[in-house]
Amino acid sequence: MDSDGLFVYGTLREGGSNRSWLNRTNPIGHTLAHTPGRIFHLPGVGVAAMVPGPIPETLPPGPGWVVGEFIGYEDDEALDYALDNLDQLEGVGEGQFERKWVPVLLESGQTYAAWAYVFPVERLPRLEREGVELPNGDWVHYLQ
């Protein structure tokens, strides 16, 4: 599966503490987007963690959808550069997060495949115990 860009839902979103890290990867644009899944706030570390899920029967926003941004890049080479850079931030090599393809629905109604940094699904029980699940799917809204 080829990816068309990157889906971000936590500290990489506009206004997030790691947005400057994302910006140095030279994205060409961003737009509001949703992907199916569950999102949690991790109080001890102050970050969001998403676990992908099945596509809900209803359109977003709402339960079963995570709110974020679709980030576009000039071409595959630029996207690969960004992912190599962001893998370090997201602790992919250490197993903190995994990079996976997710379906993304833009606010315009278009659908794309995008890379996202997600919490390993086998650690979902830990998220349910230690995290705060956000039923509205929007971590930035939760922080406000």
What pLDDT, on the 0 to 100 scale, is given for residue 117?
98
Whole-structure pTM value? 0.95
What pLDDT, on the 0 to 100 scale, is given for residue 31?
96
Q: Which residues of the chain have pLDDT under 70?
A: 1-3
Tokens 């071409």 map to which residue? Answer: 75
What pLDDT, on the 0 to 100 scale, is given for residue 123?
92
What pLDDT, on the 0 to 100 scale, is given for residue 84?
95
Q: What percent of the chain is predicted at pLDDT more than 70?
A: 98
Give the C-alpha separation, 6 to 82, whole Å.
Answer: 9
Q: What is the 3-state secondary structure (H, E, C) of the chain?
A: CCCCEEEECCCCCCCCCCHHHHHCCCCCEEEEEEEEEEEEEECCCCEEEEEECCCCCCCCCCCCEEEEEEEECCCHHHHHHHHHHHHHHCCCCCCCCEEEEEEEEECCCCEEEEEEEECCHHHHHHHHHHCEECCCCCHHHHHC
Find the domain containing 23 and state its range: 5-143
What pLDDT, on the 0 to 100 scale, is given for residue 4?
83
Quote the number of domains for the chain.
Answer: 1
CA torsion, ordered 126, 130, 131, 132, to nearest 10 deg: 130
Q: Is the peptide bond before 103 cis (omega within 30 degrees of 0)?
A: no
CATH of the domain at 26: 3.10.490.10
What pLDDT, on the 0 to 100 scale, is given for residue 2?
58
- Give the tokens for residue 85: 């850079």
